A = this chain, B = another copy of it.
């Protein structure tokens, strides 16, 4: 049976939960368009996160890989456009690593674009009544590291891949008043839409999703 691999991250920066994993795990074993979803948790650690991801890819040979990550402060489902070949950690990862200006893949290209149909995905999520937009940067921490490594790994395969950032959970926003949040139900629905669209839409649609800066 064909599989989709969806990943979420373990908690980081002292948090008790990470809503990216809480959402991803809801989709484990779900069938979407005849394809089985498998959810895996990634450590929030440079290097190791990619090892765990690559093992899962070897094991499952998925037709689609979507990494999900938390972007505290963002207001909507943000589908990343591009990953860049650099690690620059503002804070230490969960193993205490804090690389500064190190390439992820020594001889890799400067960046990889997501191979997901990002515009079709945000369009479908919006049609479901959930705010979504394109993000032009996945940062330079473990999320970008995983997205770049994932796209590098799959660069010669047909499997599509990309990363989707989600807002804080309501529970996190209660602890830090003023933080935008999104309910888990909306996040899970949005991820379902993303998987469904990525499995069926061959060529991305033409929809404005840029930023002036």
Name A's interface SS.
loop
Of the candidates B110, B138, B140, B207, the one whose C-beta lies within 8 Å of that of A112 is B110
Bound-state CA distance A172–B131 (Å) is 9
Task: Please name the residue on chain B nearest to A177 by beta carbon.
Answer: B133
Whether the Cβ atoms of B98 and A208 lie closer than 8 Å is yes
Bound-state CA distance A55–B112 (Å) is 30
Q: For residue A130, which residues in chain B have a CB less than 8 angstroms away from its CB?
A: 170, 174
Of the candidates B70, B72, B110, the one whose C-beta lies within 8 Å of that of A111 is B110
The interface size of chain A toward B, counting residues with CB under 8 Å, comes to 62
A197 within 8 A of B: no
Of the candidates B86, B173, B209, the one whose C-beta lies within 8 Å of that of A131 is B173
Bound-state CA distance A136–B80 (Å) is 13
Task: Please name the residue on chain B nearest to A206 by beta carbon.
Answer: B100
Whether the Cβ atoms of B213 and A75 lie closer than 8 Å is no
Bound-state CA distance A88–B205 (Å) is 13
